Amino acid sequence: MKPWEVWTWKFPDAGEHPAVVLGTEERVKLKPRVCVILCSTQRAARKPEVHEVVLDEADGLEWETLCKCDVVYAAPKTELVKRRGIVTAERRRAIAERVIRGLGFAGL
């Protein structure tokens, strides 16, 4: 498992969805839990909101999917199943920017 990979995880109160792994390679390798963000399982039928990024087939998903970057979950690595792909470099920057903004770190 590596940062920026997309896996499937059963999110608390949301069910099974694609999850983007965040963090450094060392942290992901050493820790039993990894930080993830939730992506929708439905086709994106609207433009992304300020805290969202659209991922698609290039990232390992089946269609355009909204990734919500304003909440970061701590997922046990043992619960992440079915590796789907890896986020493209361009979208990594967009996700990082929206996570920073969504968690309120941009104003520091």
- What's the CATH number where 93 sits? 2.30.30.110
Residue 48 falls within a domain, yes or no? yes
Count of structural domains within the chain: 1
List, as one string, the DSSP characters of the chain.
Answer: --TTEEEEEEETTTEEEEEEEES-HHHHHH-SEEEEEEE-SSPP-S---TTEEEE-GGGT-SS-EEEEEEEEEEEEGGG-EEEEEE--HHHHHHHHHHHHHHTT-TT-
Q: Does the model's pTM come out above 0.75?
A: yes
Q: Sorting pLDDT into bands at 50, 70 and 90, what band is 105?
A: confident
Question: Where in the sequence is the domain holding 50, given as residue range(s)?
Answer: 5-102
Residue 108 falls within a domain, yes or no? no
As a whole number, mean pLDDT of residues 62-79 equals 96
Check pLDDT > 90 for residue 103. no
What mean pLDDT is reported for the chain? Answer: 94
